[in-house]
Chains A and B, each alone.
Chain A
Amino acid sequence: MMLIRRQLEEKFRRKSSWLAASAMQVFTCFVLGVFSINSAGAARRQQWNGTWIRMGMLFDETMQNDQASPSCKALPGLSPGQGRLCQLYGDHMNAVAWGAKQSLNECKHQFHHRRWNCSLLDDVNVFGPVITIASRETAFAHALAAAGVAHSVSRACRDGQLSSCGCSRMRRPKDLKKEWVWGGCGDNLEYGYKFTQNFVDIRERERKFKRGTREQGRLLMNLHNNEAGRRAVIKKSKVTCKCHGVSGSCSLITCWQQLATFREIGDYLRDKYDGATEVRVNRRGRLQLRDSRLTLPTAYDLVYLEDSPDYCVKDDRIGSLGTQGRSCNRTSPDIDGCNLLCCGRGYNTLKSTVRERCQCKFKWCCQVECKTCIKSMDVHTCK
């Protein structure tokens, strides 16, 4: 009873120390070049088409109707290694697909007002040929997809959809029950992070390229951005603690990670997109800053190799849809303003009256009582 404090739980945000501890990992991808030393035999032809992110587009059709795990053969875009993981962790595939889907939705939301608006094409690459360019946008898309899976797997753990999660530490011991009674289960966020590390990165690790080539640089870039995406999930999570010692005092205190909403993670990654660093691959097969005056990117930052293509005009070859016909904001000086979004081509203005719901009153849980207001507004679209 000596240490009586306010017994209500305390909240504090702290950086997870393990992240600091694994600072060695920060430049995983910079160092990864070593792996490709013996791969003089050049790149084997890719045996698989497109990206696993396509699972997100098929999510509604093939899955969710029945909560049963989908067959691995029916899933699009899996690399051989991912296929094996799918066999091993069949029950995780719903979560992976959901993660891909939420990352696509989030991408659309975050890039709603930009020249490249994260348009999805009916293509094996989901985003069209744009994704084959090692640009800022690709970096963002990869990071977001990895974050989506890490977030979704962690969430599925809390949902009880997966058969064991943090209790198993990736392998399933026979004495799982004993482990649970003795030490309880581990953190779900950690599990989500590690599963994603295996599942998403395995694609890049399966391929071997000659050191210093463009392909190898791309591989390192993907690995780095995947890591940044996964770390965003952890970075945005909050540590919450509860005192439950003698008389509710803090002589015993237990903390856990509270998963952030994916919107917060998306915001964070968009900031990282705005501050992404341009790098190049050197002859030793490592990434290095293109402009040595800049600060070195950390594991939380995005990196890219090539400049973004011109998204102003429609170009099927690079998969750009152009900004023609996009609505814009006349008064904004930012990228969503008509000036920038329309690339100086000017805009059309259309007067229209809109019926809107206004003066609403919300009643928990599911009712909103509103009045209808009529508002006239101008809609501007790019020429």
Chain B
Amino acid sequence: MPGTILENLSGRKLSVLVTLLLACQIVCFLVGLIAPSPARTQGMLSTICVDENPENDNINRWFTKKCPKVIVLSNKKSITGLQANNLVFAVQMPLYDLDFSRWQQNLVGILQIDIVYQTEQKIVEPIIELTLDARLAYSDKTPDGGTTPWQYYAHAEEKRYMECTFDNTAVIGEEREGYPYNCTMVPLFELGCLYHDYYLMNLRLPYSESKNTNLGKVEDVYLHTIHMNGGFTKIWVGLKTFFFPLIVGIMVWFWKRVHQLNRTPALLEYVLVSLGGTLAFLNLPIEYLSLTFEMPYMLLLSDIRQGIFYAMLLSFWLIFAGEHMLIQDHGERNTIKMYWKHLSTIVIGCLCLLVFDLCERGIQLVNPFYSIWVTPIGTNLALSFIILAGISASLYFFFLCYMIWRVFKNISVRRSILPSMSQARRLHYEGIIYRFNFLMLATVICAAVTVISFILSQVAEGQNKWDENMEVELTSAIHTGVYGMWNVYICAMLMLYAPSHKQWPNEPICGEGEEVEFSRLPADANASEISSLTTFAAKANIE
């Protein structure tokens, strides 16, 4: 049985392939340049309506921008005689004459509550416990140009914590009246799908012995919404549609090649094909379905898909390193059981994140206002899951680094005996080591680029660019570039590590000064090992 394609490919063919993949990578990046930024915000000022009979429990009573009685909280005259239950903060989304498109995928709502100082009240506590009675309704366009009446979507009474500070040094005494507190934002809701055209939020801040007792003088309530940009979704789904059949095709080709051999597939081949499988699952463009069906679980699903992919990628690296380290006993086939210690870190880490995700986004399917972070127990739970995931991640990286270090040590030890080999054999092994290092390097570069680009995109996002001439959007280019990079990387892995079918004569045919096509040494042929590097290492071991 010959080795993998990587080892038997000529330098020229390899460079052509690498160039092709690089071109594909650059195209992915360029495609991102034409897309707008991944998400946009719209800040909305709430209309403060007066609810004349707050006792009315009818859930389908909605207050819109055009409610009968609107007041301004900063106007002292207009609020006399009102109770907290009378006030309804109404926000209609989106603003202007626009409506949401399903391409905009999901909606996140964040509250900004402006509190001002008033002489009648001492400085409020830094941490304010808010009780929010929030309701959401939806409406759709009708074919004749009108809209359907508001329909109930969700309702919950939730607690949130807000931190408010007041700069005591800036002003003194009575001058403080009307000065603003500096308060943090309050995350309010997350909708997994934007199925309807319009949404309406009605917010109440009830007051009782136990509710909102610390609340100061609220002047304005803003709702900031974040939605995906339709353009970005189109480009993103387009990329997925392109990569999905490609990956599936390469997987089929890979598996066929493996089966053409008269041996059962090796562990690395199983791992490679399942890595391809998870990538195909990640690439599956189910976003198209969300254009016709209401799928509030889209956020959760995409989290899970991403999680499975990362888990598989991390496992692949471990097993890849392990297969080149020879932890197996001579001649025995490697199985997944050999790696249980290493893989358990990944499994634990991913399970933790899955549970955390189910707790947050899973419950949000039922109650979009839910957040695990608001209750102390929830915060502790969420933090412990994340810390546990973090511990397993660092354990994993420890294992990985250790294994890679051993592989390199192994290689360098064997390299020292290279000069004593015949020239053909030496060239052969040197080439393999070179290409193994090359792929290791590619992996490290991919990982580094991912981390650096996400840090960069966060820095770039923090500064708002208002330059009119700047039509290109770097953040989305970074996202599509990184996404394309992992696709290209796995394509390359599947292609280069597929078994080669080249049949070589018994005598090495190394031409002098020409391109060297590395040949397998017939003596090393061993059906249980897939790459001659492992063979080489094993052989040296026995010696």
B 350-362 to A, binary, CB cutoff 8 A, 1 in contact else 0: 1001001100110
Across the interface, do A4 and B96 meet the contact criterion of CB distance under 8 Å? no
- B114: chain A residues at CB < 8 Å are 261
**Closest chain B CB from A245 CB (angstroms):** 9
Considering only CB atoms, which chain B residue lies closest to A165 in the complex?
A: B96
Across the interface, do A263 and B178 meet the contact criterion of CB distance under 8 Å? yes
**Closest chain B CB from A253 CB (angstroms):** 5
**Closest chain A CB from B204 CB (angstroms):** 10
A242-B110, A247-B303, A257-B464 in contact; A365/B38 too (CB < 8 A)? no
Of all A-B residue pairs in the complex, the 8 with the closest CB atoms, nearest first, are A184-B40, A183-B36, A360-B120, A18-B466, A182-B231, A181-B230, A362-B121, A17-B463
B 49-85 to A, binary, CB cutoff 8 A, 1 in contact else 0: 0000000000000000100000001000001111110
8 contacts between A and B (CB under 8 A): A1-B307, A4-B390, A183-B229, A183-B231, A184-B229, A242-B187, A253-B461, A368-B121
Across the interface, do A366 and B83 meet the contact criterion of CB distance under 8 Å? yes
B215 at the interface (CB under 8 A from A): yes
Q: How far is the CA of A211 from the CA of B176 in the complex (A)?
A: 46
B462 at the interface (CB under 8 A from A): yes
**Closest chain B CB from A329 CB (angstroms):** 10
Across the interface, do A1 and B310 meet the contact criterion of CB distance under 8 Å? yes
Considering only CB atoms, which chain B residue lies closest to A257 in the complex?
A: B464
B377 at the interface (CB under 8 A from A): no
Binds B, one of A8-16, A198-206, A294-302, A340-348: A8-16
- A18: chain B residues at CB < 8 Å are 464-467
Within 8 A of A (CB), among B341-394: 350, 353, 356-357, 360-361, 373, 386, 389-390, 393
Across the interface, do A4 and B353 meet the contact criterion of CB distance under 8 Å? yes
- A383: chain B residues at CB < 8 Å are none
A89 at the interface (CB under 8 A from B): no
Indicate the size class of the contact surface on chain A: 35 or more
Across the interface, do A185 and B42 meet the contact criterion of CB distance under 8 Å? yes
**Contacting A246 at CB < 8 Å: which of B41, B42, B229, B303?**
B303
Considering only CB atoms, which chain B residue lies closest to A256 in the complex?
A: B41
Q: How far is the CA of A125 from the CA of B207 in the complex (A)?
A: 47
Considering only CB atoms, which chain B residue lies closest to A360 in the complex?
A: B120
B212 at the interface (CB under 8 A from A): yes
A181-B101, A242-B108 in contact; A366/B82 too (CB < 8 A)? yes
- A187: chain B residues at CB < 8 Å are 464, 466
**Contacting B82 at CB < 8 Å: which of A252, A362, A365?**
A365
**Closest chain A CB from B75 CB (angstroms):** 11
B222 at the interface (CB under 8 A from A): yes
B493 at the interface (CB under 8 A from A): no
Across the interface, do A258 and B120 meet the contact criterion of CB distance under 8 Å? no
- A188: chain B residues at CB < 8 Å are 43
14 more A-B residue pairs beyond the given contacts A260-B180, A364-B212, with a C-beta to C-beta distance below 8 A: A1-B389, A8-B373, A14-B462, A160-B45, A180-B94, A183-B40, A184-B42, A240-B185, A240-B224, A253-B457, A254-B461, A256-B464, A264-B180, A364-B205
Q: How far is the CA of A84 from the CA of B83 in the complex (A)?
A: 45
- B535: chain A residues at CB < 8 Å are none
Across the interface, do B462 and A241 meet the contact criterion of CB distance under 8 Å? yes
B 218-249 to A, binary, CB cutoff 8 A, 1 in contact else 0: 10001010110111001000000000000000
A184-B227, A363-B207 in contact; A159/B112 too (CB < 8 A)? no
Q: How far is the CA of A362 from the CA of B120 in the complex (A)?
A: 7
B 443-468 to A, binary, CB cutoff 8 A, 1 in contact else 0: 00000001100100110011111111
**Closest chain B CB from A227 CB (angstroms):** 15
B 22-59 to A, binary, CB cutoff 8 A, 1 in contact else 0: 00000000000000111111111101000000000000
**Closest chain A CB from B455 CB (angstroms):** 9
Considering only CB atoms, which chain A residue lies closest to B79 in the complex?
A: A366
A160-B65, A250-B458, A366-B81 in contact; A256/B224 too (CB < 8 A)? yes
B402 at the interface (CB under 8 A from A): no
Across the interface, do A261 and B353 meet the contact criterion of CB distance under 8 Å? no
Across the interface, do B226 and A244 meet the contact criterion of CB distance under 8 Å? yes
A11-B184, A183-B231, A362-B216 in contact; A21/B467 too (CB < 8 A)? yes
B 161-190 to A, binary, CB cutoff 8 A, 1 in contact else 0: 000000000100000001110001101001
- B180: chain A residues at CB < 8 Å are 260-261, 263-264
Q: How far is the CA of A4 from the CA of B454 in the complex (A)?
A: 12
B92 at the interface (CB under 8 A from A): yes
Across the interface, do B185 and A263 meet the contact criterion of CB distance under 8 Å? no
- A264: chain B residues at CB < 8 Å are 180
Across the interface, do B231 and A16 meet the contact criterion of CB distance under 8 Å? no
- B457: chain A residues at CB < 8 Å are 253
**Closest chain A CB from B368 CB (angstroms):** 14
Across the interface, do B229 and A366 meet the contact criterion of CB distance under 8 Å? no
**Closest chain B CB from A265 CB (angstroms):** 11
- B73: chain A residues at CB < 8 Å are 365
A49 at the interface (CB under 8 A from B): no
Across the interface, do B205 and A365 meet the contact criterion of CB distance under 8 Å? yes
Q: How far is the CA of A246 from the CA of B310 in the complex (A)?
A: 12
B 193-214 to A, binary, CB cutoff 8 A, 1 in contact else 0: 0000000000001010000110
A 64-76 to B, binary, CB cutoff 8 A, 1 in contact else 0: 0000000000000
